[in-house]
Amino acid sequence: MGSHAKAWLVEDESAREMLDRVLTERPFLLLPPLHRVPLRVGNVVELAGPSSSSKTHILIQAAITCILPKLWKGVSYGGLGHSAMFIDLDCRFDVLRFSELLNQRIMEAANGSSSKVGCHQKDSEAQFARMKPYNEELFALCMKRFLYIRCYDSSEFLATLKTLHYRLQKEREVHGVNVHLLLIDSIGAFHWVDRGSSSFPLEYDNRKSWHLQNVSEAVVQEIRRLLLVHPMLVMATKAVVLGNKYSTNELTWNYRKWSAVDNPYSRNITSDQQLPYREYMPAAWQSFVTHRILVRATDDDLVNGEHQNNSIYLLEWLLPPLNSLDKFTVRDTGVFILS
């Protein structure tokens, strides 16, 4: 009996290891349109879609949700209170636009808190004036949690991934919070340039040349290593060209077993899967993706209601496959699902 009691008291993990395990198992509560499937750290989400299908905007809104606090000065902002890393491979990120969207989310939460207590217009305006310094303080705090890197070619991207551990560690020591989101826009930006190059010249002849497949495998390997030390949710956009016909019923997916030895979060995809677009990313990346989403714009615009004169987009979960299409519209204050 005594031996059993001692065995129960033996420590099998530290408090830090327990917290890391609990945080890893806890799903992300992301806002629409990413709310259909619970996402966890270690997942790799691919947002595929043609140009002008709001892919980058979805990444930005996810980043804003991550860096906003859950509660600040008595106001609920519904955020995660952590840092987000944005790697810009498309080199078109507009930080001014990002700051405007962040400020809109902050003001919307402040306005909502005032309306809930039933303030008159004059009282409401006075309260907004008093809250302005707090909003500016929160804005500055959130911007410090948003980490941005721009890469102009695959070699810079690989160098960034190889040194990202040290930067994330430093940011955690300075700000006291972990990076929970790794956002990549867009993962296929250098694909065609790399494909046109037979190989990347190296200084020493005894090292293998870097061609397209090597680069993709190296990128996946570096991200995997990074996730072992810094558990994060990875989200990446990918530009595609849709076919002339789009039919949800024609999407046929066949999967292999989970590859727990190689990566417990990844799922291998067979070569006979049918997509509404031509897949061009190497197999190393395709097998690394755990969740795939297809977004596209429609020719419709809302002509009445709260979101009038806004474009309508469609979102479909391809991995895991869901038998539903979400219609949504994009505004400065977020992404809104349409009933």
For the segment 318-328, the average pLDDT, to the nearest whole number, is 89
CATH number at residue 232: 3.40.50.300
**Above 60 in pLDDT, residue 316?**
yes
- The answer as to whether 248 is a domain residue is no
| Whether 149 contacts 86, CB under 8 Å | yes
Q: How far apart are CA 164 and CA 240, in angstroms?
A: 28
Cis peptide before 33 (omega within 30 of 0): yes
Q: Torsions phi, psi of 316, nearest 5?
A: -135, 135
Q: How does residue 163 score in pLDDT terms, banded at 50, 70 and 90? A: very high
- The answer as to whether 218 is a domain residue is yes
**Above 70 in pLDDT, residue 313?**
yes
Spatial CB neighbours of 14, under 8 Å, sequence gap ≥ 6: none
**pLDDT for 211-253, tens place per residue?**
667 888 999 999 999 999 999 999 999 999 887 544 333 333 3
- The answer as to whether 328 is a domain residue is yes
Q: How does residue 131 score in pLDDT terms, banded at 50, 70 and 90? A: low
Q: How far apart are CA 65 and CA 87, in angstroms?
A: 17
Which helix (H) or strand (E) segment holds residue 155: the answer is: helix 154-175
Question: Where do we find the tokens 């002509």?
Answer: 303
**Above 50 in pLDDT, residue 31?**
yes
User: In degrees to the nearest 10, what's the CA dihedral of 40, 189, 151, 262?
Assistant: 40
CA distances from 243 to 64, 257, 278 (A): 33, 29, 8
**Above 90 in pLDDT, residue 56?**
yes
- The answer as to whether 64 is a domain residue is yes
Q: How far apart are CA 242 and CA 245, in angstroms?
A: 8
**Above 90 in pLDDT, residue 328?**
no
**pLDDT for 246-274, tens place per residue?**
433 333 333 333 333 344 434 444 334 56
DSSP symbol at 73? T
- The answer as to whether 33 is a domain residue is no
Q: What is the pLDDT of residue 52?
A: 87
Q: What is the pLDDT of residue 275?
A: 75
pTM to 2 decimal places:
0.77
CA Rg, the chain, in Å? 22
- The answer as to whether 58 is a domain residue is yes
CA distances from 83 to 144, 169, 180, 198 (A): 8, 12, 6, 38
Which one is predicted more confidently, 330 or 217?
Answer: 217
Count other C-beta atoms under 10 Å from residue 12's C-beta.
6
CA distances from 306 to 104, 121, 296 (A): 17, 21, 22
Helices 121-145 and 95-116: crossing angle in degrees, nearest 10, is 140
Domain span including residue 77: 42-111+133-197+210-240+275-338
Q: How far apart are CA 22 and CA 266, in angstroms?
A: 20
Q: What is the pLDDT of residue 198?
A: 55
Which one is predicted more confidently, 78 or 148?
Answer: 148
Mean pLDDT of the chain: 77
In DSSP notation, 203-260 reads: S-TTSPPB-HHHHHHHHHHHHHHHHHHS--EEEEEEE--B-S---GGG----EEEE-T
Q: What is the pLDDT of residue 290?
A: 96
Which one is predicted more confidently, 176 or 204?
Answer: 176
Amino acid letter for position 24: T
Q: How far apart are CA 287 and CA 224, in angstroms?
A: 12
User: In degrees to the nearest 10, what's the CA dihedral of 207, 212, 217, 223?
Assistant: 110
Q: How does residue 283 score in pLDDT terms, banded at 50, 70 and 90? A: very high
- The answer as to whether 95 is a domain residue is yes
Query: Could you give the number of structural domains in the chain?
Result: 1
